[in-house]
Structure 1
């Protein structure tokens, strides 16, 4: 019987005659991520290394206990590594956190249950704050005062927002215009790879509103879910989040800076349920505010996107105010996921919270619960991630001159997108 690749590696590294380097561990880390992906199809979000390696790992199909033993061995060998400089220290810290999160994911795939906060800490290196219903109700009352008509706040918000739906025949031009503006604003401060590009597709029947599938060589596939109405403000949100300076820019910069320039091969693979995702989602969400100030976004939507979508620009100011208020309900999403996943609420109770506390459209609330089922504590990466990235970036903005301060923020943002920093490294 042939020994598997991982058994051979384990034997080779068991002896004291061979001293593993960080690069050795990084190459084995890549194989281990791919090996988990054989058991968990959603785990490998992106891989653009040699296809033969993925084929080999798939063919071998190592069991979870064997993979777990290899991760433990890699962590043991990583512990005594001494960085030569600050960048190497970040790399070692990155690999350590990523490998530790892989142990947790294997435990979950093996049937182990974690409390919501414990799971997020071990998978994403962060824990979300939580609030009671009364905290959010104070915000809901402010929204209530802005909305005309009768009925529940959720019903009146849905009726009001129906005026801002992008007609399906205008989705592509509106999104093209938004993405173009997001790219132009990003390119003023970040030099993107010359060949970077993406394909845009509209899809249905997905548990998410938008997704970036990074293909390597600075290429992405961006998909937008059209199953439910898409409101005009989502064009900028998704254009920045999925494109510039969000996921597409992040992955392209990691590939150029770390994979191509430094030969850090571990960045050719992106495990979705890992600390890396908090930076990816947090920077993508905060990237919206990086690309547009509130005033710039209002002007762009009022003069370009609203007319293009056939929506009255005179409504833009009030709609922007409402958007800012509803954004303050963001952490209600984490609370809903926590109570649902820990079994404290059933599906109906969770939907009630989403509709009446977070003011989700009723038709989308069930979709959100399906996201919890599929991705569990991943939800913290969007809002907590954005808040952690924001605090980190703003600490680097010290000038009293607005333009200089903005340039400082962009410099810090670019550095973040080009480095292996994780949540605990942002504090």
Structure 2
């Protein structure tokens, strides 16, 4: 293949964003061959992927192609485009910039953690606060039975709510069914969308959505790991409804098929998508409703006393906030050199309350994904604050799912309060 025939400079001859978008997709697929965790999903034409993957393109060359594409986009005057064209142009610029940065990092360039987070994910990490975890630890200490070592008490408490393996499938089935029912009350799901759940082994994660295209997702649940009763509903909402599956089915129908915007057929790690997926549970299961559903449905299915549902929810909520905020802070310290690997692992154990094996696994993920924890923690806050609690909150959430918005779009539009 002669790469020069596909560069951004060639696309500029026609001023055609379709050409830019098509080559951007190939660049992302090329980069994904070097960094498999970078690409969450691809549901575009098989021929594009097959053509891209017939060759191996090094990261430095991909970064150069991204710079060409940005130059092309700079030569397209957005003032001569309609509203949809301007939105597409701005989004393409943001996506290609992130691609250029990620390719550059893989090619050996280095950025400080905060600069990497802003360049890749469009959001700054939280400001450093040595006491950030104290309130969360206090909440856990007040909720957990017993006295003494907080980490030990937390792990012992959650271990008592591990779902028996023979009950796991029925609990997940109920969680997915109810999350879909509630989502469909507020959002028009594309016709024919379908989600399947498979139970797998030998994976490093609890649950993962493989979006297959044509409105179909395969959510894989790791049957090797102990799954506590707080997790199935979270996974159902984050990976399914109204999370990743819902966003990708809507965008495939509205952007890729209806508009022909092929750039949205490949899904790199992104702040808005991660934030919406995590926030989705709060949209369809506000706190009291989440507790009630677990109490009335999930706890009995798992064989647990429903009277414990409120306590488990309180503990799980504090631990989740601890995890997401802590991952970002540990990643910054480790990757900027302020923390040794041993000290970072100690923080994961002592502050995030992880057992040693889980702490080591988390550390490996941080080392592999760099500033990605920022997308998870700050993406959630960004979507939450944008959606707000006003009468238009579902309209705002639907926009996040359906439109090609960037983090800056949500900040500029503010919260509905």
Same fold at TM > 0.5: yes
> How far apart are 1:261 and its partner, in Å?
1.0
Q: 1:370 to 1:12 in 2, by over 3 A?
A: closer
Residue 57 of structure 1 is matched in structure 2 by 52
Give me the whole-angstrom Cα distance separating, in 1, the residues matched to 2:142 and 2:396: 39
Match 1:174 to one of 162, 165, 171: 171
Give me the whole-angstrom Cα distance separating, in 1, the residues matched to 2:66 and 2:140: 49
Residue 123 of structure 1 is matched in structure 2 by 120
Aligned residue for 2:111, secondary structure, equals coil
Map 1:274-423 → 2, pairs under 5 A: 277-329=270-322, 330-394=324-388, 397-398=389-390, 405=391, 408-423=392-407
Give me the whole-angstrom Cα distance separating, in 2, the residues matched to 1:322 and 1:62: 47
Residue 23 of structure 2 is matched in structure 1 by 28
Bigger CA drift: 219-228 or 304-313? 219-228
Bigger CA drift: 408-417 or 44-53? 44-53
Give me the whole-angstrom Cα distance separating, in 1, the residues matched to 2:199 and 2:148: 33
Structure 1 runs of 4+ aligned residues shifted over 6 Å read: none
Give me the whole-angstrom Cα distance separating, in 2, the residues matched to 1:61 and 1:291: 43
Bigger CA drift: 185-194 or 113-122? 113-122
Q: Contact 1:116–1:377 (CA<8 Å) still a contact in 2?
A: yes
Give me the whole-angstrom Cα distance separating, in 1, the residues matched to 2:42 and 2:320: 33
> How far apart are 1:11 and its partner, in Å?
9.3
Q: Contact 2:60–2:107 (CA<8 Å) still a contact in 1?
A: no
Bigger CA drift: 354-363 or 383-392? 354-363
Per-residue deviation, residues 220-278 of structure 1 (Å, max 9, x unmatched): 11112233321111111000000000000010000000011111111111123xxxx11
TM-score scaled to structure 1, two decimals? 0.90
Match 2:71 to one of 47, 72, 76: 76
Per-residue deviation, residues 368-420 of structure 1 (Å, max 9, x unmatched): 112112212111122211110011111xx54xxxxxx2xx2222211211111
Give me the whole-angstrom Cα distance separating, in 2, the residues matched to 1:295 and 1:56: 51
Bigger CA drift: 143-152 or 167-176? 143-152
Aligned residue for 2:319, secondary structure, equals helix
Aligned residue for 2:186, secondary structure, equals coil
Structure 1 residue 217 and structure 2 residue 214: aligned? yes
Match 2:264 to one of 267, 286, 299: 267
Q: Which runs of 5+ in 2 are unaligned?
A: 412-417
Match 2:84 to one of 71, 80, 87: 87
Question: In the comparison of the two structures, how many residue pairs are matched?
Answer: 408
Bigger CA drift: 63-72 or 257-266? 63-72
Instruction: State the superposition RMSD in angstroms.
Output: 1.9
TM-score scaled to structure 2, two decimals? 0.92
Residue 231 of structure 1 is matched in structure 2 by 228
Q: 1:11 to 1:44 in 2, by over 3 A?
A: closer
Aligned residue for 2:126, secondary structure, equals coil
Give me the whole-angstrom Cα distance separating, in 1, the residues matched to 2:184 and 2:115: 39
